[in-house]
Structure 1
């Protein structure tokens, strides 16, 4: 997933539109605000305790803004369905990571090499089924997107400019970090996955997921569906841009570990046995979604909120 905002400052992305107000807008976390404001006030907390009033103050802000325009691409492959080929199941992961910083490679084996590999493996499995005359009824759109770590840019672009109509997309199954074990997970650490978002948009989705899991027998941990969860994972990966457009989603996630967004997120730390269990569950879910008679109902309020 894209990074949380603890201790960081983020510039709003500019579209480059001449009609847009391109005055820099900066979002800051509590920690960053505290770091800045402690030079003027005891703590950021004291600000929160001030009673409502009008204050006059002067501030000088100096910003050096430089822009590098780079091109990147989403990578898509479509496996055409049979009698429901004009309806779609979307399988997503992001293939970008953090690149190099100060000459150090950030490998991103789990985030999101694991998701990228998962999408490719599922594409191979669906293609083999079709080759054997047992292809899915709905078409499957396999998509690895770019720019996730910059702010979900690739999926945001696709959601705004879909190649295939999102009104005909029954679900997006997003795979972002499925190769590791959350050290804080309480339970069978070799048989779990966090599922996020299937309680939103469609009353069908969680019931179907549970029925599929009768065979897989994985622990589906839904703690991050809590709207009060401070991690806000629902807003931090590419499924969110599909949810904003009303497409039901599930985000599959292994949790946060000490190598998250560090150069040490390397392939030898991937737990391939556990990853295989998770990907089989995702594949089986996609298979059911692609072959059931009806598309998922979209009967719950959007309530997607903002990032």
Structure 2
């Protein structure tokens, strides 16, 4: 056995790094053996339970959410995880959220139009906008609008052509434009486009899903310039009293317009919300490390889904019963390692979140009420949607044994190394960097629970299978999961976690 204080091992380590790097990436044979016993039967059994119709889609704050939380808690207890709440007698971390029922409307010309009846609003606002004058700039570009002198814009909404607005959004300049408009006193931006038909149709389909808000310390609701998007038909009604020419696609056809026209019809956005307080559980379990002075690792997966709409149940098998059963299985394998005398150096905190589908609420609550401070959290590993083949691979790529990953490690905590070391033992499972690439990175980063840890400066790593055709549809059911693929992805996550906990 080499002594860590001897000079000889240092020389040998240098030789290994230079000439035998693969040896440094090898997994412990005992831990590798445990990973190979990852149970397909247990993954299937647990997933079929969580995606069963009797849990009614596990909507946050419902009976199904509670039943799934209890199920995960019982599993944690069976596998030796410590209960961190109520003096060591509970896995449940209660979160408090406000359920918001929105009855807002857009009003002009003496008529009120309910939300998504030909219009949409982004971001959400909390205060009504009453009788706001509208300056119509037609097809004029933003450059021309921003050259408007004096206080002419102040206290008004501006109406621009949809092509002008969507081009600014697509090219990434809309935020800087709206910052200037805000400083000039503009209260809202209105635009029309045929794409709004699809947006409001999708939103109407999902009106059965409640909106939630969690009050977190030091945080305020989303701000920004209100953007009111309307259909071409709604635009025609708005500009009819002014005889402004628009076509069926919502385009302004007068290309000679060089100044704003003040519309005869001011607009109002009447905000009407009913708020109810809802309690829902995160499930948190702990495997203490052998060195409690080290920073901890968090591994998490959200448990909730979209519930039901009438008789349609949104089972949420891939999203995210799959990630939930993966962390359950990882807890079981980690417990087996402990029983065999291989306790991880770092403490591992297992998190089963509620409320991800309603806006990353459970993980947002946890990072503001953590068991261990965020500056004492070495890394967070997130599992969200596993065991399926997404639309990018299905019927297009021969190799369907893959997992997408995303790593953000500004503190250089070795996350990529831990993942690559695990991957080296599983040559049959491809690591796909698709969501590391700039065009796609933000969607994955902001769309799942690792984002809340990222915002707190914690290094994060996430695994996902991407978006299969049944994503957020009632037919996302347990029979469509590839349990062999789920097993491989769970093994990779377990080995990566082990490496992070023992670096």
The alpha-carbon deviation at position 38 of structure 1 amounts to 4.4
Farther off after superposition, 165-174 or 84-93: 84-93
- From 172, 188, 198, the counterpart of 2:380: 172
Match in the other structure for 2:355: 147
Larger radius of gyration between Structure 1 and Structure 2: 2
Computed over aligned residues only, the root mean square deviation of the Cα atoms, in angstroms, reads 3.5
Change (3 A) 1:108 1:157: same
* 1:189 positional shift: 3.9
Match of 2:326 in 1: 118
1:44 and 1:213 map into 2 onto residues whose CA distance is: 52
Give a deviation string over 1:130-150, Cα, whole Å, max 9, x none.
112111111110110010000
Query: Matched residues in 2 for 1:141 and 1:119: separation?
Result: 11
Instruction: Give the C-alpha shift of residue 127 in structure 1.
Output: 1.0
> Structure 1: how far apart are the matches of 2:347 and 2:442?
34
Aligned to 2:415: 205
User: What CA distance in whole angstroms lies between the structure 2 residues aligned with 1:63 and 1:79?
Assistant: 47
Helix, strand or coil: the match of 2:305?
coil
2:433 equivalent to 1:222: yes
Q: How many residues align?
A: 283
Contact 2:211 2:358 in 1 (8 A): no
Structure 2 match to 1:78: 286
Contact 1:225 1:234 in 2 (8 A): no
Question: Structure 1, unaligned stretches of length 5 or more?
Answer: 293-307
Partner residue of 1:132 out of 328, 340, 351: 340
Please, which moves more after superposition, 180-189 or 258-267?
180-189
For 2:276, what is the secondary structure of its paired residue?
Answer: coil
- Note the C-alpha offset of 1:66: 1.7
Q: TM-score, normalised by structure 2?
A: 0.50
Q: Which has the higher helix share?
A: 2
Q: Is the 8 A contact 1:85 1:139 kept in 2?
A: no
Cross-structure match for 2:311: 103
Distance 1:12 1:137 in 2: 41
Q: Distance in 2 between matches of 1:148 and 1:177?
A: 12
1:72-108 per-residue CA deviation (whole Å, 9 max, x = no partner) reads: 0110000001024642111100111001112321110
**Aligned ranges for residues 152-301 of structure 1 at < 5 Å?**
152-185=360-393, 186-196=396-406, 198-203=407-412, 204-217=414-427, 218-229=429-440, 232-292=443-503
Distance 1:23 1:245 in 2: 17
State the 1:187 CA deviation: 3.8
Q: What secondary structure is seen at the aligned counterpart in 2 of 1:273?
A: helix
Q: 1:275 is paired with a residue of what secondary structure?
A: helix
